[in-house]
Chain A
Amino acid sequence: MPSLAEVGQLVVNGVMAGTILAVPAIGLTAIYAVLRFPNFALASHATIGAFAGYVANAKLGLPLLPSVAMAFVVAGGVGVVSDETVLKRFRPAGYVTTAIASIALTIALENVLRFIFGNELRGYDLPIQRDFRIGAIRVGPQQLDNLAIAGVAMAALFGFLAFTRTGKAMRAVADNPMLAAIKGIDADTIARVVNFVGMGLAGLGGMLIGLDTTIDPLTGFRSILSVFAAAVVGGLGSIPGALVGALTVGVGEELCLLFLSPDYRSAVGFVAILLVLTLRPRGILGQRAF
């Protein structure tokens, strides 16, 4: 029988992991809301962000925050270019074709990274700090930093969508693309914005995942199932849904350690997708986009 402290520790870890997971999940769901296809190339963009942050931090010696900003900007920029040059051409063929093309794209980009950086594991250059203890529960300072960065990124996105003209136009296209076109909102511009923001969040999330452990060309690919599960559980296309879904999947993955070997952790994502699609196909929060 697991102790209460053990369960508490896993829940805390799950919330931390879930909040980080929420960042790329929100990116995936935002792109889905506007462009109406699941962009699996998110995996490689998360890795690209992780490596961009690594170059900034370990090679150029920048501190954490500018490195995180670099992860966002580089992944977002690559996201715009890769959509413009590759995925955009597939969109008229329908969402299944585009989604499959995005898988091919992610494998190609992953191999570009492998070509440049090789396969070995790399770590960020961060000071080692002692964990905090609150009662029986341990929390790493790095985890708290990650939590704060993820929180700020999500708050910034919320502000962007709620208060800026471009953010509102993005929601308008997600809501009713035909009417948005009639009102003069340029769909191509909005597609670029959502790719920059969505893939930027993927890159940021990739770096946050890497900060906890190490990175290699498969960093994003290993977490894409959890990211996808988070978005589906919350309701694909719903931004608050992605947050709720990410916390659910994050806590679920940690709590499963009570019963299962860590090897089976990724099964949680599969089971979550299976349950949601069977019982509540539109996800916990349904189609509520914002």
Chain B
Amino acid sequence: MTNGDVAANDARTTAHPLLVVEQVVAGYSAADEVLKGIDLRVETGEIVAILGPNGAGKSTLVKTLAGLIAPSRGSILLDGRPIAGRAPREISRAGVAYVPQEQNIFPTMSVRENLEMGGFLDPRNSARRIEQAFTRFPMLARRRRVQARALSGGERQVLAMAMALMVDPTLLLLDEPSAGLSPIAAQRLFDDIVAIHRGGVSIAMVEQNAHEALTIADRAYILVDGRNHRDGAAAALAADPDIRRVFLGG
């Protein structure tokens, strides 16, 4: 499914990849470097999974990409332009939408108001994109007046992704979208992610559910202790006996 999209996008991607991360060092303080030199690349039209054990730096990596953490070294290029160390607002304007793992909604605001805030940087298209979100996710339309804190875990994740799509991003960064969801809710969420990707959005996602992530991703990176451990085509990694033993439980 995704391979076809990549082929179709080849002509566009030859200029430069959508996102290029090179030797990025970052952390919460100078003494506490979580990322110790990470390389990563996302081509236009890809789903890239970022996997690894707890503490490998997966969340830190997407936070750095979103501008919440400034890298102390290394470069991050979006469409060939440097974005490392820019404010979240500027990175969002440049077309990168980030969905945090937790606290990714405005709990006391209505579903509709949450979507409005998602599109805060692009108010002119707000009304039209809210209608699009309601068409794509009918659950949100039904619950548009409900306070977001009343939504279930799976519904919150859908709202959080719909909020991110309000600025029509080229790259969507998802931090453990299925964390804490029931298997059925997680499956539904992965279906939604695939649908968003089919709509023309490239995706980089951190996932603890490695099996599902490798099923929908084109390529994957495995991080261990803040460094690149393995990377390659998702199907190849999923078939690798070492990877299966360590990350996929046999």
8 Å CB contact of A175 from B98, B106, B120, B163: B106
Cross-chain contact of A178 among B103, B118, B121 (Cβ < 8 A): B103
The answer, yes or no, to whether B55 is at the interface (CB within 8 Å) is: no
* Residue B117 interfacial (CB < 8 Å): yes
User: Which of B12-20, B108-116, B127-135 is the interface stretch?
Assistant: B108-116
Question: A168-B113, A168-B117, A169-B120 are contacts. A182–B88 as well, Cβ < 8 Å?
Answer: yes
Contact across chains for A176 and B106 when beta carbons are under 8 A apart:
yes
Chain B residue with minimal CB distance to A290? Answer: B108
User: For residue A186, which residue of chain B has the nearest CB?
Assistant: B89
A180 in the interface, Cβ–Cβ < 8 Å? yes
- Chain A residues whose C-beta falls within 8 Å of the C-beta of B120 in the assembled complex: 165, 169, 172, 183-185
Q: Is the CB of B109 within 8 A of A168?
A: yes
Select the residue from A165, A168, A171, A179 with max chain B CB neighbours within 10 A: A179
Instruction: Specify which chain A residues have a CB less than 8 angstroms from the CB of B230 in the assembled complex.
Output: none
* Count of A-B contacts judged by CB separation below 8 Å: 62
A181-197 residues at the B interface, CB under 8 angstroms: 181-186
Does A289 sit within 8 A of B, measured CB to CB? yes
From A165, A183, A185, B163 is in contact (CB under 8 Å) with: A183
In Å, the complex CA distance between A172 and B109 comes to 8
CB within 8 Å of B: which A146-205 residues? 165, 168-169, 171-172, 175-176, 178-186
Interface flag for A288 (CB, 8 Å): yes
Cα separation A137 to B116 with both chains bound (whole Å) = 49
Q: Name the distance in Å between A29's Cβ and chain B's nearest Cβ.
A: 14
Indicate which residue in A171, A182, A184, A287 contacts B109 across the interface (CB closer than 8 Å). Answer: A171
What is the minimal beta-carbon distance from B107 to any residue of chain A, in angstroms? 6
User: Chain A: interface residue count, which band?
Assistant: 20 to 34
Q: Which residues of A contact B116 (CB under 8 A)?
A: 165, 168
Determine whether B72 belongs to the interface, using a CB cutoff of 8 Å to chain A.
no
> In the assembled complex, which residues on chain B have CB atoms less than 8 Å from the CB atom of A168?
109, 113, 116-117
Q: Is B170 an interface residue (CB 8 A)?
A: no
Q: Please report which residues of chain B, range 142-177, place their CB below 8 angstroms from some CB of chain A when the two chains form the complex.
A: 163
B186 proximal to A (CB < 8 A): no
Flag if A184 contacts B106 (CB, 8 Å). Answer: no
CB distance from A185 to the nearest CB of B (A): 6
**Interface contact B108-A182, CB-CB below 8 Å:** no
Nearest neighbor of B117 in chain A, beta-carbon distance = A172
Q: Are B103 and A179 in contact, with the CB atoms below 8 A? A: yes
CB distance from A236 to the nearest CB of B (A): 15
Contact with B along A270-290 (1 / 0, CB 8 A): 000000000000000001111
Minimum CB–CB distance for A277 against chain B, Å: 23
Q: Could you tell me if A288 and B108 are in contact, using CB atoms closer than 8 angstroms?
A: yes
Decide if B92 touches A184 in the complex (CB within 8 Å): yes
Is B123 touching A165 in the complex (CB atoms < 8 A)?
Answer: yes
Assuming the contacts A165-B123, A168-B113, A168-B116, asked whether A181 and B107 have C-beta atoms less than 8 A apart, the reply is no
Could you say which of A171, A181, A288 contacts B106, with CB atoms under 8 Å apart? A171
Most buried by B among A172, A181, A287: A172
Nearest Cβ in chain A — how far from B195, in angstroms? 23
Chain B, Cβ-Cβ closest to A288: B108
For residue B57, CB closer than 8 A to chain A, the reply is no
Q: Taking A168-B117, A185-B120, A186-B89 as contacts, is the C-beta distance between A179 and B105 under 8 angstroms?
A: yes
Q: Quick one: CB contact mask for B42-86 with A, threshold 8 Å, 1 for yes?
A: 000000000000000000000000101000000000000000000
Bound Cα distance A169, B120 (Å): 8
User: What's the Cα separation between A171 and B116 when bound, in Å?
Assistant: 12
- Could you tell me if A183 and B117 are in contact, using CB atoms closer than 8 angstroms? yes
CA distance A176 to B160 in the complex (A): 13
Q: Is the CB of B92 within 8 A of A176?
A: no
B104 within 8 A of A: yes
Question: Measured between C-beta atoms, what is the minimum distance from A32 to chain B in Å?
Answer: 15
Question: Which residues in B have some Cβ–Cβ distance to A below 8 Å?
Answer: 66, 68, 88-89, 92-93, 98, 100, 103-109, 113, 116-118, 120-121, 123, 163
Q: What would 8 more interface pairs be, CB under 8 Å, given A182-B68, A184-B92?
A: A165-B123, A168-B109, A171-B106, A172-B117, A175-B106, A179-B104, A183-B117, A184-B89
What are 11 pairs between A and B in contact, CB < 8 Å?
Answer: A165-B120, A168-B117, A169-B120, A172-B117, A172-B120, A175-B107, A176-B106, A179-B104, A181-B89, A184-B88, A185-B117
